[in-house]
Structure 1
Amino acid sequence: MNIIEELEFTTSDSIVKELVHAGVEVAFGIVSIHNMPIYDAILRDGTIKLVCSRGESGAVNMADGYARATGKLGVVITSTGTGAGNAAGSLVEAWAAGVPLLHLTGEVASAYLGTGKGYIHECKDQLAMMDGACKNAVRLRNPSQAGAVVRQAITEALTAPAGPVTLEIPIDYQSAIIDDLSADKLQAPEFETKTAAIIPERVMEQIAKARRPVIWSGGGVISANASQELQKLAELLGAAVITSQSGKGSIPENHEQCIGHFAAYEQTKEFLRNADLLISVGVRFRGNETSNWKVPVPKAHIAIDADWQAINRNYKATLGLVGDAKDMLAAIIHKLEEKSVHPAPSYLQEVLTLRDEVRAQLRLTLGPYEQFVVGMREILPQDTILVRDVTVQANVWGSRLFEIHEPRTSIHASGGGIGQGLPTAIGAQMGCQDKTVVLMAGDGGFMVNIGEMVTAAEENLPIIIVLFDDSGYGVLRNIQSAAYGRQVAVDLLSPDFVQLAEAMHFAAVRIGSGDEFVSELKKAKERRKPSMIVVDMEAVGPMAKPFGGPPGAAEAFKPKKL
């Protein structure tokens, strides 16, 4: 009899059994004395692949990127106290993006919870810390209930509005011997089609009389796998389609009716003032994407969202439909096909003109970087997953001019935190190993999780990192200059990124022109090995117009009376 056969069934085995039943294939994290029983149970089961990150923050981002790129549940395992605290910032990002993620963390032995005795890895109130960073945080209080508690946590993470859920398991509970209770395979929660498909007649009346309709498509469309329905509705109505940044790819961005992620542009604002109907689908209307809610919307506003609390949160809706976006849109389409709906050719031409104008305006600001945009879209496959950290080039053109053609191929930092792009790209590539994954990052943010390059190399993931090196925090430089006429704490000493990347088993090169970039990007795409292209921004030269941050950013920081 081998050692595996001799072991009793434990709480950790019950946890792993539920993960396997939920279809979990990959888990990210760092092994610790406060999660070792769970790791051992995963090893003994042999079903789930473990990816060992170099930090808890990076591990959460990897699980996040994996979930966004695949549509599956992300799973991350961390230690107690400091380990859980390290994970908190990245959990906030997953919460901001509405990513279904299960965070398993250890806890001190149950007898020492809340005693302050100084048990190793003790935290004053870890559960409250996790709750502040997540959709919800729960603690296992009875080892025999482990399977049920894990199942409930997974269900909650997947249920709209999706988000990260933390489950704490005290270390003594993890090895507790319990009965092996059978469990049916867990399925992702489904919305009731009967409820979701009911479309009030007054909704159809408002849609039918619209002559200048606009659809605002958000991440909820992608989460609901409703992109085909969204495009069909747009074509039936002849509607312009604005996307949030999370909604990029919900309609192909080369579609003639897709305005894209340009809501805060003046031309788009004027267009919205003249619209007679807005249909918003799964949109949060974030402050930085709406000039802090100054983008005008038509009085007639039909809001569709799976989260009833989202209705009227930022913009008033005349009619709100709560339910799954795919079911809702399909029901509207079915009713529209029974009617005679004919898009106005003159309005479609206006939409196309606006689409071309906002893109042309942005291109004029790029200077030498226009060649980068063109080169990337020409060289990279249509289904390339573009991950963007917070950096000037990503904010200016990576999130707008690099056209996204498919859902789940555009990933960005929804919460605005720097440095999370690298591990997020690793997770995306782990989940989609046959696709090309490209990360756009700046030198300042990249240093935050730079150790995760070794994780990518260890897994032999062919990610391509395009690192824009201007030896500082470029976005903040520009905002400070506009707000104060001076700069502080934004200049950084860059390492030799090529040597550093090579030491971490990446192929790496430094370039100083658009031609060099295009040439090296081709090589990296064909190499299918971990690769980095360091862009010497001083050598390339400045943009034609400096990026001043989101609309109104500089004004917000100028001294003023409250």
Structure 2
Amino acid sequence: MKIQEQIEYTTADSIVKELVRAGVKVAFGVVSIHNMPIYDAILREGSIKLICSRGESGAVNMADGYARATGKLGVVITSTGTGAGNAAGSLVEAWAAGVPLLHLTGEVASPYYGTGRGYIHECKDQLSMMKGACKNAIHLKQPEQTAGVVRMAIEEALTAPTGPISLEIPIDLQSAIIEDFKLESIQDKENEKQFTAIIPEQLVVKIAEARRPVIWAGGGVISANASQELQDLAEILGAAVITSQSGKGSIPENHEQCIGHFAAYEATKEFLQNADLLISVGVRFRGNETSNWKVPVPEEHIAIDADLQAINRNYKATIGLVGDAKNILTALVQKLKEKNVIQKSSYIEEIISLRYQLRTQLRKTLGPYEQFLDGMRDILPHDTILVRDVTVQANVWGSRLFEIYEPRTSIHASGGGIGQGLPTAIGAQIGCLDKTVVLMAGDGGFMLNVGEMVTAAEENLPIIIVLFDDSGYGVLRNIQDAAYGRQVAVDLLSPNFVKLAESMHFDAVRIGCGDEFVSELKKAKESRKPSMIVVDMEAVGPMAKPFGGPPGAAEAFKPKKL
């Protein structure tokens, strides 16, 4: 609801005008003396909902989760210096995941910028810090340029390769009186994407003639809204589909051709060695997902990506197709429909067999947690958004065996940082209020942003937290045991999480077996209230096989000559 507007039009008003023009409905942040004019302008304009986080790190993660779950621009507002520094780690995560995000931060008053005189909240070189954490960082120099600079920042965040853009505005410039004027963009960025991709005929023939094709689908498929086109391509070719962690949901994981997020498993490596064609779509080929690039790929590799620099960065491509994945796949599917593509039923059967083998192999390691996995998938709606912090259960089965059926319903920490799951889940829930959002987290990482539980309660979000409590850093324990045969700095004193959650207005319960978990998860899903289920891992018992981290993790830390 709009309130009475001030007479003068300021830089802050120009910022908000551009946010509204870009369709922004929600902004996250922490108010400060170095961003108050922006907050006041948002209040006066009246159409943007402000979410007040308990820390800048959490605010960025919320904007990140909102953007990943909705496909819209995430917006976060922080203070100068320490506030911007608190945001930096979470901005690195948004950069690693290619999340379109606008970070608005204050700066010291322009006469003192770069002087080192000790102006409150001063940072030696905030812009460089932000450039290191983001896709790009911009400093507003003149108030009259505000509309153009903000619009440029938004467009850069949304342009592939998408990523966070930080815009710093000195505090004196935020309240500067400027003229309100019309800034018309002649180029329509959306229509620029609406072109017909021209696929060379010889390439179509090459693809059609492949007998053992594999598609590797990454987050770029989801960013381009190209999931249906990807599935169409897979079905026409009879291809196996491997997904990256970010690509989960690009094809329904109950599809018989979906291998899933199992690229680094030995059975998948053997399968790839016998493939005659790889089509990668929007894949970064991250080190931890490819055994540090030791997963073999076919010599014939067609790479599709919107980022020119992605081609040949990690795996050599014989042909690179640069552009919007949806357009390229649409054109490719249409061309292949005109060809006589012969699928080999024996190859489809081999894909189905590999799919079953991988899942059966991993299930055997879960022990009592197999009931947790099956209970979650049976109880939760198909479109549940599963957010995973870095923890043993999330890494082992949350990221592989819990089936994802739709794009934007699987969110994880691409950069590998712990503790970002809770605020990310909050942002996802704010963006998708009608959906069920479930967070899988471990006690160690969870404590990093535990204060954001109050933010969830304040917004009355029906988020469900499944907290696996083993009083320590479980992943690191196992890696240290394998690498050194001993442990250090991994044991933690856990609080009474039930009392802690209840003090933050959550319904909470501690459980010690699978039957209790299933029962409490049903209650939490039906209540539509902020809920936490604390899993007492000592009471539940160990997994059948300890998780030793990503393939090769223990070996990497053993002493060796370089």
Moved more, 333-342 or 495-504: 333-342
8 A Cα contact 1:22 1:185, kept in partner: no
Shift of 1:192: 4.0
Deviation, structure 1 residue 227 = 0.2
SS at match of 2:15: helix
Quick one: distance in 2 between partners of 1:186 and 1:468? 52
Q: CA deviation at 1:342?
A: 2.3
Structure 2 matches for 1:338-349, cutoff 5 A?
338-349=338-349
Q: How far apart are the structure 1 equivalents of 2:137 and 2:353?
A: 48
Contact kept? 2:101, 2:165, Cα under 8 Å = yes
TM-aligned CA deviation for residue 343 of structure 1:
1.1
CA deviations on 1:175-221 (whole Å, 9 max, x unpaired) are 00000012458998337457660112232122022000000000000
Taking the aligned partners of 2:194 and 2:172, their CA distance within structure 1 comes to 46
Shift of 1:341: 1.0
1:364-418 residue CA offsets vs partner (Å, 9 max, x unmatched): 0000000001000000000000000000000000000000000000000000000
For residue 439 of structure 1, what is the amino acid of its counterpart? Answer: L
Q: Distance in 1 between matches of 2:106 and 2:186?
A: 24
CA change 1:388–1:187 in 2 (3 A) is: farther
Is 2:38 aligned against 1:31?
no
Structure 1 residues 54-453: aligned runs within 5 Å: 54-183=54-183, 189-190=189-190, 192=192, 197-453=197-453
Q: Deviations over 1:418-438 (max 9, x none)?
A: 000000000000000000000
User: Aligned partners of 2:11 and 2:517: how far apart in 1?
Assistant: 52
Which letter does structure 1 place at the counterpart of 2:559? Answer: P
Query: 1:338 Cα shift?
Result: 0.6
Matched letter for residue 140 of structure 2: L
Cα distance in 2 for partners of 1:324, 1:104 equals 28
Change (3 A) 1:184 1:513: farther
Where do residues 412-561 of structure 1 align in structure 2 (5 Å cutoff)?
412-561=412-561
The 8 Å contact of residues 3 and 46 in structure 2, kept in 1 or not, is answered as no
SS in 2 for 1:50: strand
The 1-side partners of 2:193 and 2:469 are apart by 50
Q: TM-score, normalised by structure 1?
A: 0.98
- Whole-Å Cα distance in 2 between the matches of residues 71 and 183 of structure 1? 25
Residues 5, 44 of structure 2: 8 Å contact kept:
no
Alignment partners' CA distance in 2, 1:158 and 1:330: 22
Residue pair 2:234, 2:241 contacting (<8 A) in 1 also: yes
Pick which of 200-209 and 53-62 moved more. 200-209
CA distance in structure 2 between the partners assigned to 1:174 and 1:435 by the alignment: 37
Output the aligned Cα RMSD: 1.3
Q: Is the Cα–Cα contact under 8 Å of residues 194 and 327 in structure 2 kept in the other structure?
A: no
Letter in 2 for 1:495: P
Contact 1:144-1:179 within 8 A present in 2 as well = yes
Q: What percentage of residue pairs aligned between the two structures are identical?
A: 83
- The one-letter code matched in structure 1 to 2:532 is M
In 1, distance between residues paired with 2:164 and 2:239? 34
**SS in structure 2 of the partner of residue 425 of structure 1:** helix
Separation (CA, whole Å) in 2 of partners of 1:165 and 1:92: 11
**Matched letter for residue 440 of structure 1:** M
SS at match of 1:4: coil
Residue matched to 2:9: 9
One-letter code aligned to 1:81: G
Q: Deviations over 1:226-261 (max 9, x none)?
A: 000000000000000000000000000000000000
**CA separation in 2, counterparts of 1:536 and 1:357?**
30
Residue by residue, what CA displacement relative to the aligned partner does 1:15-65 show, whole Å, maximum 9, x if unpaired? 000000000000000000000000000000001000000000000000000
| Matched AA of 2:356 | D
1:135 corresponds to which letter in structure 2? K
SS at match of 1:190: helix
Question: How far off its partner does 1:4 sit?
Answer: 3.3
Aligned residues: 561
Bigger Cα displacement from structure 2, 364-373 vs 185-194: 185-194
Amino acid at match of 2:119: Y
Cα distance 1:540–1:481, how it changes in 2: closer, same or farther (>3 A)?
same
Residue 507 of structure 1 and its aligned partner are, at CA, apart by: 0.1
SS in 1 for 2:166: strand
Q: State the SS of the aligned residue for 1:242.
A: strand
Judge conservation of contact 2:475–2:549 (CA < 8 Å) in 1.
yes
Distance in 2 (CA, whole Å) between partners of 1:119 and 1:200 is 60
1:311-346 Cα distance to aligned partner (Å, 9 max, x none):
000000000000000000000001001111121111
User: Distance between the aligned counterparts of 1:555 and 1:269, measured in 2?
Assistant: 19
Structure 1 gap ranges (5+): none
Contact persistence 2:3–2:44 (CA under 8 A): no
Residues in 1 aligned to 2:84 and 2:186: alpha-carbon distance in whole angstroms: 27
Letter in 1 for 2:43: L
Query: 1:107 is aligned with what amino acid?
Result: E
Structure 2 unaligned residues grouped into runs of 5+: none
| Pair 187,552 (structure 1): closer, same or farther in 2 beyond 3 Å | farther
**Whole-angstrom distance in 2 between the partners of 1:186 and 1:37:** 30
Distance change in 2, residues 1:502/1:19 (3 Å): same
**Distance in 1 separating the partners of 2:225 and 2:381:** 21
Q: Distance in 2 between matches of 1:419 and 1:81?
A: 22
Does the 8 A contact of 1:155 with 1:188 survive in 2? no
Work out whether residues 240 and 257 of structure 1, in 8 Å CA contact, stay in contact via their aligned partners in 2.
Answer: yes
Q: 3-state DSSP class of the match of 1:68?
A: helix
Cα 1:331–1:337 shift into 2, 3 Å: same
Question: What is the one-letter code of the residue matched to 2:172?
Answer: D
Which AA in structure 2 matches 1:389? D
What one-letter code is carried by the residue in structure 2 that aligns with 1:402? F
8 A Cα contact 1:387 1:411, kept in partner: yes
**Partner Cα separation in structure 1 for residue 188 and residue 182 of structure 2:** 18
The 8 Å contact of residues 28 and 75 in structure 1, kept in 2 or not, is answered as yes
Secondary structure of the residue aligned to 2:88 is helix
CA contact (8 A) 2:195 2:327 kept: no
Partners of 2:271 and 2:325 in 1: CA distance = 25
TM-score (norm 2): 0.98
